[in-house]
Chains A and B, each alone.
Chain A
Amino acid sequence: MTITRPQNSGEKQWRLDTRRIDDDLLEVSCGGRWCLDQDLPSAGVILAEGGDGLRRLSFNTAQLSAWDSGFLAFLRALLKLCAERGLTLEQAGLPKGVRHLLAMAAAVPEQKVARRSSVGQSLFFQVGAATVEFFRGAPEMLHFLGEITLSLGRLFSGRARFRLSDLWWEIEEVGPRALAIVSVISFLVGLILAYLGADQLRLVGAQIFIADLVAIGMVREVGALMTGIIIAGRTGAAFAAQLGTMQVNEEIDAFKTLGISPVDFLVLPRMLALMLMVPLLTLYAAFVGMLAGMLVSTTIFDVGMFEYYTETLRALDVTHFLVGLSKGSVYGGMVAYAGCLRGMQCGRSAESVGKAATSAVVTAILLITISASLMTIIFYRLGI
């Protein structure tokens, strides 16, 4: 029997013949080129019509002009098939290099490791697994919160070990370097707020109250919220990626083995930097937003600049600022918490660093939204 490819053109292609030379012996002749750049046959074709009584296979490679791993992989697959069917494969007819490499591949026995099933799971299963995963995550989140609290305790009793230079570096990174993006976003948000208010207030001729709306809105809520979200995307993701990469490089393990708490050394400076800087950024955002409101009111809705200014001063008092500052601080803490948590939970591969960064942003925005609602309700109840 000859098994060749139709467009076979001399030495360029592989050739395969089988010949029954004895009752129990099949001779396999391989000729031509058996290389990776060709479409090589499957080992199954040889045994497909093996017939009864076949016990042995031998090789004739006199016509073989070139071979590489393609040939070796073919032979190895054939070896496996023969082993399954109890046939012996006589390697004497194979080139020496082929025999050596096959022996090397067989030198270390294959590990019997459980193959992962990659079959698609049903939707129910996936939803269930995700739910279980979520509830498994909750204690871990609380545990990390506890560690941070302990670490803060060590900080206030002066026993936390971290470098002040790290804190300064983080403060510069999260504060001044975020000014540009915070300016742009809060200016636009101030603008939107002013337009939104003007639309309604103009109906009753009370444009001047745009000032109240923008001032109180920006200072109490929107300044902190926008800053929180910007920082979540900008800094939260960065924290997760930094700590995640350190996890991959075993840097965090190195801290642990030295008895230095990675939470003290890595998380604390980041946490403090955000809790200090986000309130300041919040104030700044509120200020820029009010400027935008003034710009819109004076140029488009005929409010005098001085009127707007005095109305703004009248509307604001210290409690509004305190509310805004406290929200900023809480959001900053949330972002740092989410970023560091996801970074510390990171796996050991580049892919998991990406996942950690994504998950940090999602977690941070979720935490910000939840705490924003809670605080609004609490402040309302307290009448602040």
Chain B
Amino acid sequence: MNGAPHIEIRDLTMAYGEFVIQRDLNFVVNKGDIFVIMGGNGCGKTTLMRALIGLQRPARGTVFYGGEDFWSVEPDIQARLKRRLGIMFQGGALWSSLTLAENIALPLKEYTALSAPRIAEIVSFKLALVGLGGFEDFYPAELSGGMKKRAGLARAMALDPDILVIDEPSSGLDPLTARRLDDLILELRDSLETTIVVITHELASILGIGTNSVFLDTETHTMINTGNPKEAVASGDPKVRHFLTRGAE
């Protein structure tokens, strides 16, 4: 590529009407990063994600993917950039009228030339990866909250995206499943070279898999660049240390 950073967020300000959620965000996500966006409830993590993935135009500033300004290019280029993203929403966002298998098969049918039996094999593999092997014919309404979440991740991974954006993967998961999900995220990065942007406040995940991070502060409505979370917890900004140690420091 042209040496431009993989993802760059420049001067981003997000607001709902007059109500500014976060201002002047600047950071870079490199290829192969597991980039953690952290912060307290309601600090604007999901809102930032919506700006990243093209669902909500930021009030100011923009997002670059490989040097291309997402918010000012033509819609067809936007569509091409979006194809590189796989997104898992906070609530799963599975299509309720489709079975799990159909949920995952839909992007594959839409964007690949694979035959139906190949798609079925891929679907079953993706479900097995998130520990839902055998649930192909279930409808989302028949799953538990944590299962929906994992199925949402399987759908996000359907096309082996370049960049996987995950909103709160581990909240609502039991500790073993959460751990397995972290391992999966690591493996996806290592084997398929997926770049991962993960929104989470699960301390074990932040410290376990994060390679780079930002902290969105609710009070000042702006970010603190925190680098590798493992270092931030030892020697970072006091506010971040307070957060990462559950208020102990």
Contacts and interface: CB of A to CB of B under 8 A. Distances in A.
Contacts of B129: 101, 104-105
B249 to A, nearest CB: 36
Contacts of A77: 121
A105 B129 CA distance: 4
**Interface size, A (range):** 35 or more
Given A69-B126, A110-B133, A349 B115 contact: no
Contacts of A95: 191
Contacts of A100: 187, 190-191
B139 A39 contact: no
Interface string A19-60: 000000000000000011111101100000000000000000
Interface stretch (A85-93, A111-119, A216-224, A304-312): A111-119
B200 interface: no
A73 B133 contact: no
Contact of B97 (A107, A115, A348, A349): A349
Contact of A73 (B118, B139, B187, B190): B118
Max chain A Cβ within 10 angstroms of own Cβ: one of B122, B137, B157, B192: B122
B103 interface: no
Contacts of A101: 129, 187, 191
Given A36-B112, A36-B114, A110-B133, A76 B124 contact: yes
B184 interface: yes
Interface of B: 96-97, 108, 112-115, 117-118, 121-122, 124-126, 128-129, 131-135, 137-141, 157, 159-160, 180, 183-184, 187, 190-192
Given A39-B114, A97-B187, A349 B121 contact: no
Contacts of A115: 137
Given A98-B191, A100-B187, A350-B97, A109 B118 contact: no
A284 to B, nearest CB: 39
Contacts of A351: 96-97
A180 interface: no
A37 B112 contact: yes
Max chain B Cβ within 10 angstroms of own Cβ: one of A73, A113, A350: A73
B128 A106 contact: yes
B114 A40 contact: yes
A70 interface: yes
12 contacts: A42-B118, A68-B192, A69-B125, A69-B126, A69-B160, A77-B121, A95-B191, A100-B191, A109-B133, A112-B134, A113-B134, A350-B97
A119 B30 CA distance: 49
B180 A37 contact: no
B125 A72 contact: yes
A257 to B, nearest CB: 17
Contact of B131 (A37, A74, A107, A352): A107
Contact of B128 (A35, A36, A110): A110
A76 B134 contact: no
B128 A116 contact: no
Contacts of A349: 96-97, 139-141
Max chain A Cβ within 10 angstroms of own Cβ: one of B114, B129, B131: B129
